[in-house]
Chains A and B, each alone.
Chain A
Amino acid sequence: MRTVVCIKQVRTLGDEVEFTDDGRDVDPDYVDLALNEWDSFATEEALQLKERLGGEVVVVTCGPEESEAALRRCLAMGADRAVRIEGVAAHDPIGVAHALAEVVRDEEPDLVLCGVQSSDSVQAATGTALAELVELPRVAVVTRLEPGDGKATAHRELEGGLVDVVEVDLPAVLTTQTGINQPRYANLRAIKQAEQVEITVRQAASAPAASRVRRMFVPPRGEGAEMLGTDPGEVARRIADLVKERTA
Protein backbone atom coordinates (compact mmCIF):
# COMPACT_ATOMS: atom_id res chain seq x y z
CA MET A 1 0.00 0.00 0.00
CA ARG A 2 1.58 3.28 -1.09
CA THR A 3 0.03 6.27 0.66
CA VAL A 4 0.72 9.87 -0.21
CA VAL A 5 0.04 12.25 2.70
CA CYS A 6 -0.29 15.96 1.96
CA ILE A 7 0.93 18.02 4.87
CA LYS A 8 1.19 21.74 5.52
CA GLN A 9 3.39 23.78 7.76
CA VAL A 10 0.92 26.21 9.32
CA ARG A 11 1.49 29.63 10.77
CA THR A 12 0.27 30.75 14.18
CA LEU A 13 0.11 34.31 15.37
CA GLY A 14 0.89 35.49 18.86
CA ASP A 15 -0.72 38.61 20.27
CA GLU A 16 1.08 40.97 17.90
CA VAL A 17 0.36 41.23 14.17
CA GLU A 18 2.10 43.17 11.45
CA PHE A 19 1.26 43.05 7.76
CA THR A 20 3.52 42.86 4.72
CA ASP A 21 4.02 46.06 2.70
CA ASP A 22 1.44 45.07 0.09
CA GLY A 23 -1.09 44.39 2.89
CA ARG A 24 -2.02 40.99 1.49
CA ASP A 25 -0.58 38.83 4.27
CA VAL A 26 0.93 38.91 7.73
CA ASP A 27 4.59 39.73 8.19
CA PRO A 28 6.46 36.40 8.45
CA ASP A 29 8.54 37.84 11.29
CA TYR A 30 5.47 37.65 13.52
CA VAL A 31 4.50 34.02 12.99
CA ASP A 32 5.38 30.69 14.56
CA LEU A 33 5.47 27.56 12.43
CA ALA A 34 4.13 24.08 13.14
CA LEU A 35 2.91 20.94 11.42
CA ASN A 36 -0.84 21.31 10.85
CA GLU A 37 -2.64 19.40 13.60
CA TRP A 38 -4.93 17.57 11.14
CA ASP A 39 -1.92 16.43 9.11
CA SER A 40 -0.28 14.71 12.07
CA PHE A 41 -3.43 12.55 12.27
CA ALA A 42 -3.28 11.88 8.52
CA THR A 43 0.38 10.88 8.77
CA GLU A 44 -0.33 8.60 11.74
CA GLU A 45 -3.16 6.92 9.83
CA ALA A 46 -0.86 6.25 6.88
CA LEU A 47 1.82 4.84 9.17
CA GLN A 48 -0.64 2.50 10.87
CA LEU A 49 -1.86 1.25 7.47
CA LYS A 50 1.73 0.61 6.45
CA GLU A 51 2.34 -1.32 9.66
CA ARG A 52 -0.68 -3.51 8.95
CA LEU A 53 -0.50 -3.87 5.19
CA GLY A 54 3.07 -3.05 4.21
CA GLY A 55 4.02 -0.47 1.61
CA GLU A 56 5.34 3.03 1.91
CA VAL A 57 4.38 6.49 3.10
CA VAL A 58 5.31 9.56 1.05
CA VAL A 59 4.74 13.02 2.56
CA VAL A 60 4.32 16.05 0.31
CA THR A 61 4.11 19.74 1.02
CA CYS A 62 3.87 22.96 -0.99
CA GLY A 63 5.85 25.69 0.64
CA PRO A 64 9.16 27.50 1.02
CA GLU A 65 12.33 25.84 2.29
CA GLU A 66 11.46 26.44 5.93
CA SER A 67 8.43 24.16 5.54
CA GLU A 68 10.86 21.23 5.31
CA ALA A 69 10.76 21.21 9.12
CA ALA A 70 7.18 19.92 8.92
CA LEU A 71 8.22 17.24 6.43
CA ARG A 72 11.06 16.18 8.71
CA ARG A 73 8.68 15.87 11.61
CA CYS A 74 6.65 13.36 9.53
CA LEU A 75 9.84 11.55 8.50
CA ALA A 76 10.73 11.27 12.18
CA MET A 77 7.29 9.75 12.85
CA GLY A 78 8.15 7.09 10.25
CA ALA A 79 7.35 8.37 6.75
CA ASP A 80 9.66 6.93 4.09
CA ARG A 81 10.10 9.80 1.64
CA ALA A 82 9.38 13.50 1.43
CA VAL A 83 8.69 15.87 -1.45
CA ARG A 84 8.51 19.66 -1.33
CA ILE A 85 6.93 21.71 -4.10
CA GLU A 86 8.08 25.25 -4.60
CA GLY A 87 6.41 28.21 -6.20
CA VAL A 88 2.77 27.85 -5.13
CA ALA A 89 0.74 30.83 -3.95
CA ALA A 90 -0.37 30.41 -0.34
CA HIS A 91 -4.05 30.88 0.59
CA ASP A 92 -5.50 29.47 -2.64
CA PRO A 93 -6.46 25.86 -1.89
CA ILE A 94 -7.21 25.10 -5.52
CA GLY A 95 -3.83 26.38 -6.64
CA VAL A 96 -2.22 24.18 -3.98
CA ALA A 97 -4.31 21.22 -5.17
CA HIS A 98 -3.02 21.70 -8.76
CA ALA A 99 0.56 21.50 -7.51
CA LEU A 100 -0.10 18.46 -5.30
CA ALA A 101 -1.83 16.74 -8.21
CA GLU A 102 1.43 16.64 -10.19
CA VAL A 103 3.11 14.64 -7.43
CA VAL A 104 0.13 12.34 -6.89
CA ARG A 105 0.03 11.54 -10.62
CA ASP A 106 3.71 10.57 -10.57
CA GLU A 107 3.48 8.49 -7.40
CA GLU A 108 0.42 6.48 -8.47
CA PRO A 109 -0.55 5.81 -4.84
CA ASP A 110 -3.16 3.37 -3.53
CA LEU A 111 -4.41 6.03 -1.12
CA VAL A 112 -4.04 9.78 -0.64
CA LEU A 113 -4.62 11.36 2.77
CA CYS A 114 -5.07 15.03 3.56
CA GLY A 115 -6.18 16.74 6.75
CA VAL A 116 -9.76 18.04 6.92
CA GLN A 117 -8.43 21.58 7.15
CA SER A 118 -5.34 23.64 7.76
CA SER A 119 -5.59 25.54 11.04
CA ASP A 120 -4.34 28.82 9.55
CA SER A 121 -6.57 28.82 6.44
CA VAL A 122 -9.63 26.71 7.35
CA GLN A 123 -10.57 26.12 3.73
CA ALA A 124 -11.28 22.40 4.10
CA ALA A 125 -10.97 22.38 0.30
CA THR A 126 -7.52 21.20 -0.79
CA GLY A 127 -8.15 17.45 -0.54
CA THR A 128 -11.49 17.60 -2.32
CA ALA A 129 -10.06 19.72 -5.15
CA LEU A 130 -7.02 17.44 -5.41
CA ALA A 131 -9.24 14.36 -5.77
CA GLU A 132 -10.99 15.96 -8.73
CA LEU A 133 -7.74 16.93 -10.45
CA VAL A 134 -6.35 13.39 -10.22
CA GLU A 135 -9.77 11.88 -11.03
CA LEU A 136 -10.05 9.89 -7.82
CA PRO A 137 -13.09 9.40 -5.57
CA ARG A 138 -12.99 11.20 -2.24
CA VAL A 139 -14.48 11.22 1.23
CA ALA A 140 -14.14 14.25 3.50
CA VAL A 141 -14.02 14.42 7.33
CA VAL A 142 -13.15 10.79 8.02
CA THR A 143 -13.04 9.53 11.62
CA ARG A 144 -12.53 5.85 10.82
CA LEU A 145 -11.02 4.02 7.88
CA GLU A 146 -11.13 0.30 7.08
CA PRO A 147 -9.56 -0.57 3.72
CA GLY A 148 -10.73 -3.77 2.01
CA ASP A 149 -10.33 -5.32 -1.41
CA GLY A 150 -10.55 -2.55 -4.00
CA LYS A 151 -12.67 -0.45 -1.66
CA ALA A 152 -12.74 0.93 1.85
CA THR A 153 -15.33 1.64 4.49
CA ALA A 154 -15.03 5.16 5.87
CA HIS A 155 -16.89 6.96 8.65
CA ARG A 156 -17.75 10.49 7.63
CA GLU A 157 -18.51 12.67 10.64
CA LEU A 158 -21.41 15.08 10.12
CA GLU A 159 -22.60 17.98 12.26
CA GLY A 160 -23.73 16.96 15.74
CA GLY A 161 -21.51 13.86 15.61
CA LEU A 162 -23.84 11.87 13.35
CA VAL A 163 -21.76 9.36 11.38
CA ASP A 164 -22.38 8.61 7.70
CA VAL A 165 -20.87 5.22 6.91
CA VAL A 166 -19.76 5.18 3.27
CA GLU A 167 -18.18 2.65 0.97
CA VAL A 168 -15.59 4.16 -1.37
CA ASP A 169 -13.73 2.70 -4.33
CA LEU A 170 -9.92 2.70 -4.04
CA PRO A 171 -7.62 4.42 -4.81
CA ALA A 172 -9.23 7.45 -3.20
CA VAL A 173 -8.44 10.75 -1.52
CA LEU A 174 -9.62 10.96 2.09
CA THR A 175 -9.47 13.94 4.44
CA THR A 176 -8.92 12.82 8.02
CA GLN A 177 -10.41 14.39 11.11
CA THR A 178 -8.70 14.78 14.48
CA GLY A 179 -9.42 11.90 16.86
CA ILE A 180 -9.19 9.25 14.10
CA ASN A 181 -6.10 7.95 15.97
CA GLN A 182 -3.53 9.08 18.53
CA PRO A 183 -0.54 10.49 16.62
CA ARG A 184 2.77 9.10 17.88
CA TYR A 185 5.65 11.14 19.16
CA ALA A 186 8.98 10.79 17.39
CA ASN A 187 11.91 9.87 19.60
CA LEU A 188 15.14 11.83 19.60
CA ARG A 189 17.00 9.28 17.51
CA ALA A 190 14.31 9.33 14.83
CA ILE A 191 14.37 13.12 14.83
CA LYS A 192 18.15 13.07 14.31
CA GLN A 193 17.87 10.49 11.54
CA ALA A 194 15.17 12.51 9.79
CA GLU A 195 17.59 15.43 9.56
CA GLN A 196 19.73 13.34 7.22
CA VAL A 197 16.99 12.33 4.76
CA GLU A 198 17.20 13.93 1.35
CA ILE A 199 14.01 15.80 0.45
CA THR A 200 13.00 15.88 -3.21
CA VAL A 201 12.29 19.44 -4.36
CA ARG A 202 10.16 20.20 -7.39
CA GLN A 203 8.92 23.34 -9.04
CA ALA A 204 5.17 23.79 -9.48
CA ALA A 205 3.77 24.33 -12.95
CA SER A 206 1.74 27.52 -13.17
CA ALA A 207 -1.93 26.99 -12.34
CA PRO A 208 -4.98 29.24 -12.45
CA ALA A 209 -5.83 31.01 -9.16
CA ALA A 210 -9.33 30.52 -7.74
CA SER A 211 -8.96 33.48 -5.36
CA ARG A 212 -6.56 36.22 -4.38
CA VAL A 213 -6.23 38.09 -1.09
CA ARG A 214 -6.88 41.78 -1.73
CA ARG A 215 -6.31 43.00 1.81
CA MET A 216 -5.75 41.58 5.28
CA PHE A 217 -6.67 43.42 8.44
CA VAL A 218 -7.30 42.95 12.14
CA PRO A 219 -11.08 42.57 12.47
CA PRO A 220 -12.93 45.13 14.54
CA ARG A 221 -14.06 43.49 17.78
CA GLY A 222 -17.25 45.52 18.27
CA GLU A 223 -17.90 46.16 21.95
CA GLY A 224 -15.74 43.21 22.93
CA ALA A 225 -15.73 41.54 26.32
CA GLU A 226 -15.76 43.50 29.57
CA MET A 227 -12.43 42.60 31.14
CA LEU A 228 -12.42 41.39 34.73
CA GLY A 229 -8.82 42.34 35.45
CA THR A 230 -5.76 40.19 35.96
CA ASP A 231 -5.92 39.38 39.66
CA PRO A 232 -7.02 35.72 39.88
CA GLY A 233 -8.81 36.29 43.20
CA GLU A 234 -10.80 39.21 41.81
CA VAL A 235 -11.56 37.32 38.57
CA ALA A 236 -12.82 34.34 40.60
CA ARG A 237 -15.04 36.57 42.75
CA ARG A 238 -16.56 38.23 39.69
CA ILE A 239 -17.21 34.83 38.10
CA ALA A 240 -18.87 33.54 41.28
CA ASP A 241 -21.05 36.68 41.41
CA LEU A 242 -22.03 36.34 37.75
CA VAL A 243 -22.97 32.69 38.21
CA LYS A 244 -25.12 33.59 41.23
CA GLU A 245 -26.77 36.61 39.54
CA ARG A 246 -27.54 34.96 36.21
CA THR A 247 -28.98 31.77 37.72
CA ALA A 248 -31.06 33.50 40.40
Chain B
Amino acid sequence: MSVLVVTEHLQGTVRDVTRELVTAGRPLGPVAVAVIARDPGPLAAAVDVEGVEEIVTVAAGADEFEGDTYQQALEALIESRRPRVVLLGFTVNAMSYAAAVAAKLGLGYASDVHGVALEGDAVIATRSFYAGKVSAELEFPGAETVLLLLRPTTWPPAEGTGGAAVSSLAVEVAPPRARHVEFTEPAATGDVDITQADVLLSIGRGIGDADAIAQFEGLAAKMGATLSVSRPIVDAGWMPASRQVGQSGKTVKPKVYLAFGISGAVQHLAGMKASGTIVAVNTDPEASIFGVAHYGAVVDLFDVAEELEKLY
Protein backbone atom coordinates (compact mmCIF):
# COMPACT_ATOMS: atom_id res chain seq x y z
CA MET B 1 0.00 0.00 0.00
CA SER B 2 2.14 2.89 -1.18
CA VAL B 3 1.39 6.59 -1.31
CA LEU B 4 2.68 9.11 -3.84
CA VAL B 5 2.47 12.82 -3.02
CA VAL B 6 3.00 15.36 -5.81
CA THR B 7 4.80 18.54 -4.74
CA GLU B 8 3.14 21.82 -5.54
CA HIS B 9 5.50 24.75 -6.05
CA LEU B 10 5.19 28.30 -7.29
CA GLN B 11 7.92 30.74 -8.19
CA GLY B 12 10.60 28.56 -6.62
CA THR B 13 8.83 27.88 -3.32
CA VAL B 14 7.14 24.66 -2.18
CA ARG B 15 3.58 25.43 -1.11
CA ASP B 16 2.36 24.47 2.37
CA VAL B 17 -0.24 22.05 1.05
CA THR B 18 2.53 19.62 0.05
CA ARG B 19 3.54 19.07 3.68
CA GLU B 20 -0.14 18.66 4.61
CA LEU B 21 -0.41 15.87 2.04
CA VAL B 22 2.50 14.09 3.71
CA THR B 23 0.62 14.14 7.02
CA ALA B 24 -2.53 12.83 5.33
CA GLY B 25 -0.63 10.09 3.50
CA ARG B 26 1.36 8.63 6.41
CA PRO B 27 -1.45 6.55 7.95
CA LEU B 28 -2.11 5.00 4.53
CA GLY B 29 1.36 3.62 3.82
CA PRO B 30 4.97 4.55 3.05
CA VAL B 31 5.05 8.02 1.49
CA ALA B 32 7.10 8.95 -1.56
CA VAL B 33 7.11 12.58 -2.71
CA ALA B 34 7.51 13.48 -6.37
CA VAL B 35 9.03 16.80 -7.45
CA ILE B 36 8.35 17.82 -11.04
CA ALA B 37 10.33 20.88 -12.21
CA ARG B 38 12.94 22.00 -14.69
CA ASP B 39 15.42 22.00 -11.81
CA PRO B 40 13.93 19.85 -9.02
CA GLY B 41 17.02 19.76 -6.78
CA PRO B 42 16.41 22.77 -4.48
CA LEU B 43 12.72 21.92 -4.19
CA ALA B 44 13.48 18.30 -3.25
CA ALA B 45 15.41 19.53 -0.20
CA ALA B 46 12.34 21.48 0.93
CA VAL B 47 10.05 18.42 0.90
CA ASP B 48 12.40 16.21 2.92
CA VAL B 49 10.19 16.43 6.00
CA GLU B 50 9.45 13.86 8.68
CA GLY B 51 7.53 10.88 7.36
CA VAL B 52 8.82 11.03 3.79
CA GLU B 53 10.57 7.76 2.90
CA GLU B 54 11.58 8.62 -0.59
CA ILE B 55 11.81 11.59 -2.94
CA VAL B 56 11.55 11.09 -6.69
CA THR B 57 12.55 13.94 -8.93
CA VAL B 58 11.43 14.40 -12.52
CA ALA B 59 13.51 17.01 -14.32
CA ALA B 60 11.10 18.17 -17.00
CA GLY B 61 9.37 21.19 -18.41
CA ALA B 62 9.70 24.84 -17.49
CA ASP B 63 10.35 26.55 -14.15
CA GLU B 64 6.66 27.22 -13.67
CA PHE B 65 3.70 24.88 -13.77
CA GLU B 66 2.35 23.70 -17.11
CA GLY B 67 -0.49 21.19 -17.03
CA ASP B 68 0.69 19.05 -19.95
CA THR B 69 4.14 18.56 -18.42
CA TYR B 70 2.70 17.60 -15.06
CA GLN B 71 0.27 15.21 -16.70
CA GLN B 72 2.98 13.35 -18.62
CA ALA B 73 5.30 13.26 -15.61
CA LEU B 74 2.60 11.97 -13.27
CA GLU B 75 1.51 9.31 -15.76
CA ALA B 76 5.09 8.08 -15.98
CA LEU B 77 5.40 8.09 -12.18
CA ILE B 78 2.20 6.10 -11.77
CA GLU B 79 3.17 3.60 -14.45
CA SER B 80 6.62 3.01 -13.02
CA ARG B 81 5.72 2.95 -9.30
CA ARG B 82 2.11 1.73 -9.26
CA PRO B 83 1.13 3.58 -6.07
CA ARG B 84 -2.14 2.62 -4.38
CA VAL B 85 -2.96 6.25 -3.59
CA VAL B 86 -1.80 9.46 -5.28
CA LEU B 87 -2.34 12.66 -3.27
CA LEU B 88 -2.46 16.19 -4.67
CA GLY B 89 -3.76 19.40 -3.12
CA PHE B 90 -7.17 20.62 -4.30
CA THR B 91 -5.54 23.65 -5.93
CA VAL B 92 -5.93 25.51 -9.20
CA ASN B 93 -2.85 23.72 -10.58
CA ALA B 94 -4.19 20.28 -9.69
CA MET B 95 -7.56 21.19 -11.24
CA SER B 96 -5.62 21.72 -14.47
CA TYR B 97 -4.35 18.16 -14.95
CA ALA B 98 -5.33 15.64 -12.27
CA ALA B 99 -8.69 14.63 -13.74
CA ALA B 100 -7.03 14.25 -17.16
CA VAL B 101 -4.57 11.73 -15.72
CA ALA B 102 -7.39 9.85 -14.00
CA ALA B 103 -9.53 9.78 -17.17
CA LYS B 104 -6.62 8.56 -19.28
CA LEU B 105 -5.32 5.85 -16.97
CA GLY B 106 -8.73 4.80 -15.60
CA LEU B 107 -7.88 5.66 -11.99
CA GLY B 108 -10.26 6.11 -9.08
CA TYR B 109 -10.76 9.83 -8.59
CA ALA B 110 -12.23 12.43 -6.22
CA SER B 111 -11.62 16.13 -5.48
CA ASP B 112 -11.97 18.31 -2.39
CA VAL B 113 -11.52 15.27 -0.18
CA HIS B 114 -11.36 16.03 3.56
CA GLY B 115 -11.00 12.51 4.97
CA VAL B 116 -9.18 9.37 3.75
CA ALA B 117 -9.15 5.92 5.31
CA LEU B 118 -8.26 2.35 4.46
CA GLU B 119 -10.77 -0.40 5.12
CA GLY B 120 -8.73 -3.52 4.54
CA ASP B 121 -7.55 -2.98 1.01
CA ALA B 122 -10.23 -0.46 0.07
CA VAL B 123 -9.62 3.29 -0.05
CA ILE B 124 -12.54 5.29 1.32
CA ALA B 125 -12.62 9.06 0.77
CA THR B 126 -14.91 11.50 2.54
CA ARG B 127 -16.01 14.69 0.82
CA SER B 128 -18.95 17.09 0.84
CA PHE B 129 -21.87 17.66 -1.51
CA TYR B 130 -24.64 20.24 -1.69
CA ALA B 131 -22.78 23.31 -0.44
CA GLY B 132 -21.25 21.42 2.46
CA LYS B 133 -24.61 20.47 3.91
CA VAL B 134 -24.08 16.76 3.27
CA SER B 135 -21.00 14.52 3.55
CA ALA B 136 -20.39 11.36 1.56
CA GLU B 137 -18.09 8.38 1.70
CA LEU B 138 -16.81 7.40 -1.73
CA GLU B 139 -15.51 4.02 -2.82
CA PHE B 140 -13.48 3.24 -5.92
CA PRO B 141 -14.51 -0.20 -7.15
CA GLY B 142 -11.90 -1.97 -9.21
CA ALA B 143 -9.37 0.88 -9.24
CA GLU B 144 -5.77 -0.20 -8.74
CA THR B 145 -4.71 3.40 -8.12
CA VAL B 146 -6.85 6.13 -6.56
CA LEU B 147 -6.03 9.79 -7.23
CA LEU B 148 -7.32 12.17 -4.56
CA LEU B 149 -7.20 15.97 -4.41
CA LEU B 150 -7.21 16.88 -0.72
CA ARG B 151 -8.72 20.05 0.72
CA PRO B 152 -5.94 22.44 1.83
CA THR B 153 -5.53 23.42 5.51
CA THR B 154 -7.33 20.27 6.68
CA TRP B 155 -4.30 18.27 7.85
CA PRO B 156 -1.44 19.87 9.83
CA PRO B 157 1.74 20.26 7.76
CA ALA B 158 4.50 17.69 8.41
CA GLU B 159 7.51 19.27 10.13
CA GLY B 160 11.14 18.32 10.81
CA THR B 161 13.53 16.58 8.47
CA GLY B 162 13.21 13.11 7.04
CA GLY B 163 16.52 12.05 5.53
CA ALA B 164 14.64 10.50 2.62
CA ALA B 165 16.45 8.69 -0.20
CA VAL B 166 16.38 10.71 -3.41
CA SER B 167 16.07 9.12 -6.83
CA SER B 168 15.14 10.45 -10.23
CA LEU B 169 12.90 9.32 -13.04
CA ALA B 170 13.68 10.28 -16.63
CA VAL B 171 10.58 11.32 -18.56
CA GLU B 172 10.46 12.61 -22.14
CA VAL B 173 7.77 15.25 -22.31
CA ALA B 174 6.18 16.64 -25.47
CA PRO B 175 5.97 20.43 -25.84
CA PRO B 176 2.98 21.73 -23.84
CA ARG B 177 -0.14 22.82 -25.70
CA ALA B 178 -0.84 25.47 -23.04
CA ARG B 179 2.26 27.52 -22.19
CA HIS B 180 3.07 29.81 -19.26
CA VAL B 181 3.79 33.34 -20.49
CA GLU B 182 3.98 35.49 -17.37
CA PHE B 183 2.43 36.17 -13.99
CA THR B 184 0.50 39.33 -13.29
CA GLU B 185 -0.52 40.45 -9.81
CA PRO B 186 -4.05 41.70 -9.25
CA ALA B 187 -3.98 45.49 -9.60
CA ALA B 188 -3.38 47.20 -6.26
CA THR B 189 -6.14 49.75 -5.86
CA GLY B 190 -4.56 51.77 -3.04
CA ASP B 191 -7.51 50.60 -0.97
CA VAL B 192 -7.28 49.51 2.67
CA ASP B 193 -5.38 46.35 3.64
CA ILE B 194 -8.02 44.00 5.07
CA THR B 195 -5.34 41.66 6.44
CA GLN B 196 -4.35 44.34 8.99
CA ALA B 197 -7.82 44.94 10.45
CA ASP B 198 -8.74 43.90 14.01
CA VAL B 199 -12.42 43.73 13.14
CA LEU B 200 -13.81 42.80 9.73
CA LEU B 201 -17.45 43.33 8.87
CA SER B 202 -17.73 40.93 5.95
CA ILE B 203 -20.72 40.89 3.63
CA GLY B 204 -21.80 38.35 1.01
CA ARG B 205 -24.47 37.76 -1.60
CA GLY B 206 -27.09 37.90 1.17
CA ILE B 207 -26.99 41.72 0.96
CA GLY B 208 -28.98 41.39 -2.24
CA ASP B 209 -27.93 44.35 -4.36
CA ALA B 210 -25.39 47.12 -4.83
CA ASP B 211 -27.45 49.69 -2.91
CA ALA B 212 -26.57 47.97 0.37
CA ILE B 213 -22.83 48.54 -0.03
CA ALA B 214 -22.92 52.18 1.08
CA GLN B 215 -25.01 51.27 4.12
CA PHE B 216 -22.47 48.66 5.25
CA GLU B 217 -19.52 50.94 4.55
CA GLY B 218 -21.17 53.44 6.86
CA LEU B 219 -21.87 50.83 9.52
CA ALA B 220 -18.31 49.46 9.39
CA ALA B 221 -16.90 52.97 9.84
CA LYS B 222 -19.15 53.61 12.87
CA MET B 223 -18.13 50.29 14.44
CA GLY B 224 -14.42 50.87 13.90
CA ALA B 225 -14.44 47.85 11.59
CA THR B 226 -13.14 47.37 8.05
CA LEU B 227 -15.52 46.19 5.33
CA SER B 228 -14.58 42.98 3.51
CA VAL B 229 -16.61 40.85 1.11
CA SER B 230 -17.10 37.41 -0.43
CA ARG B 231 -16.33 36.79 -4.09
CA PRO B 232 -19.76 37.44 -5.68
CA ILE B 233 -19.58 41.06 -4.46
CA VAL B 234 -16.30 41.51 -6.36
CA ASP B 235 -17.54 39.59 -9.43
CA ALA B 236 -20.51 41.95 -9.63
CA GLY B 237 -18.12 44.91 -9.60
CA TRP B 238 -19.52 46.34 -6.35
CA MET B 239 -16.21 46.30 -4.43
CA PRO B 240 -12.55 45.99 -5.52
CA ALA B 241 -10.75 42.62 -5.38
CA SER B 242 -8.54 43.95 -2.57
CA ARG B 243 -11.55 43.53 -0.23
CA GLN B 244 -12.16 39.87 -1.09
CA VAL B 245 -11.64 37.22 1.58
CA GLY B 246 -10.90 33.65 0.50
CA GLN B 247 -8.83 31.32 -1.61
CA SER B 248 -8.55 33.66 -4.58
CA GLY B 249 -8.62 36.74 -2.36
CA LYS B 250 -6.92 37.48 0.95
CA THR B 251 -6.32 35.23 3.93
CA VAL B 252 -7.35 37.17 7.03
CA LYS B 253 -7.06 36.55 10.76
CA PRO B 254 -8.76 39.45 12.52
CA LYS B 255 -9.68 39.40 16.21
CA VAL B 256 -13.34 39.46 15.17
CA TYR B 257 -14.84 38.38 11.83
CA LEU B 258 -18.50 39.25 11.33
CA ALA B 259 -19.94 37.24 8.39
CA PHE B 260 -23.24 38.73 7.20
CA GLY B 261 -25.06 36.85 4.43
CA ILE B 262 -22.12 34.57 3.58
CA SER B 263 -22.92 30.86 3.12
CA GLY B 264 -19.44 29.55 3.97
CA ALA B 265 -18.26 27.98 0.71
CA VAL B 266 -15.01 26.06 1.13
CA GLN B 267 -13.07 28.72 -0.81
CA HIS B 268 -14.38 31.43 1.49
CA LEU B 269 -13.65 29.46 4.67
CA ALA B 270 -10.07 28.90 3.45
CA GLY B 271 -9.47 32.64 3.87
CA MET B 272 -11.04 33.31 7.29
CA LYS B 273 -11.40 30.18 9.39
CA ALA B 274 -8.36 31.06 11.53
CA SER B 275 -9.99 34.31 12.72
CA GLY B 276 -10.07 34.84 16.50
CA THR B 277 -13.82 35.09 16.97
CA ILE B 278 -16.22 34.39 14.11
CA VAL B 279 -19.83 35.57 14.26
CA ALA B 280 -22.21 34.49 11.49
CA VAL B 281 -25.56 36.08 10.68
CA ASN B 282 -27.52 34.08 8.13
CA THR B 283 -31.18 33.27 7.52
CA ASP B 284 -30.34 29.65 6.60
CA PRO B 285 -29.81 27.64 9.82
CA GLU B 286 -27.96 24.95 7.84
CA ALA B 287 -25.47 27.32 6.18
CA SER B 288 -21.90 25.92 6.34
CA ILE B 289 -20.63 29.13 7.91
CA PHE B 290 -22.19 28.00 11.21
CA GLY B 291 -19.77 25.05 11.16
CA VAL B 292 -16.78 27.37 11.73
CA ALA B 293 -18.50 30.25 13.57
CA HIS B 294 -18.09 30.65 17.33
CA TYR B 295 -21.32 32.64 17.55
CA GLY B 296 -24.28 32.62 15.23
CA ALA B 297 -27.72 34.07 14.66
CA VAL B 298 -30.39 32.85 12.27
CA VAL B 299 -31.90 36.23 11.52
CA ASP B 300 -32.16 38.77 8.70
CA LEU B 301 -28.89 40.63 8.37
CA PHE B 302 -30.62 43.94 7.62
CA ASP B 303 -32.52 43.79 10.90
CA VAL B 304 -29.26 43.24 12.80
CA ALA B 305 -27.56 46.03 10.84
CA GLU B 306 -30.35 48.43 11.75
CA GLU B 307 -29.97 47.60 15.45
CA LEU B 308 -26.20 47.94 15.25
CA GLU B 309 -26.60 51.42 13.73
CA LYS B 310 -28.48 52.43 16.88
CA LEU B 311 -25.72 51.17 19.19
CA TYR B 312 -22.83 53.13 17.63
Contacts and interface: CB of A to CB of B under 8 A. Distances in A.
- Whether both chains belong to one complex is answered with yes
Interface of A: 11-15, 17, 26, 31, 91, 93-94, 97-98, 116, 119-126, 128-133, 137-141, 153-169, 172, 175, 178-179, 182, 208-219, 221-222, 224-233, 235-240, 242-243, 246-247
B178 A172 contact: yes
B290 A221 contact: yes
Nearest to A153: B181
B63 interface: no
Contacts of A239: 258, 279, 295, 304, 308
Interface in B254-312: 255-256, 258, 266, 276-281, 284-286, 290-291, 293-300, 303-304, 306-308, 310-312
Contacts of B184: 155, 162-163, 165
A214 B96 contact: no
B139 A214 contact: yes
* Residue with the greatest number of chain A CB neighbours at <10 A, chosen from B96, B132, B231, B236: B96
Given A163-B184, A216-B135, A224 B290 contact: yes
Contact of A128 (B96, B110, B244): B96
Nearest to B266: A122
B121 to A, nearest CB: 15
A159 B99 contact: no
A225 B65 CA distance: 40
Q: Helix, strand, loop or mixed for chain B's interface?
A: mixed
The 7 closest A-B pairs by CB, nearest first: A137-B177, A236-B307, A225-B296, A179-B235, A132-B100, A125-B99, A232-B303
Contacts, number: 288
Nearest to B64: A164
Given A132-B104, A226-B295, A247-B199, A212 B138 contact: yes
Interface string B144-178: 00000000000000000000000000000000011
A178 B109 contact: no
A166 B180 contact: yes
B179 interface: yes
Interface residues of B, number: 105
B232 A129 contact: no
A243 B107 CA distance: 50
A208 B183 CA distance: 38
A238 B131 CA distance: 28
Contacts of A163: 183-186
Contacts of B100: 128-129, 131-132, 138
A215 B96 contact: no
B285 to A, nearest CB: 5
Interface in B90-146: 90-93, 95-104, 106-112, 124-125, 128-143
Given A158-B10, A158-B92, A226-B295, A165 B181 contact: yes
Contacts of A228: 279, 295-297
Contacts of B266: 122
B39 interface: no
B50 interface: no
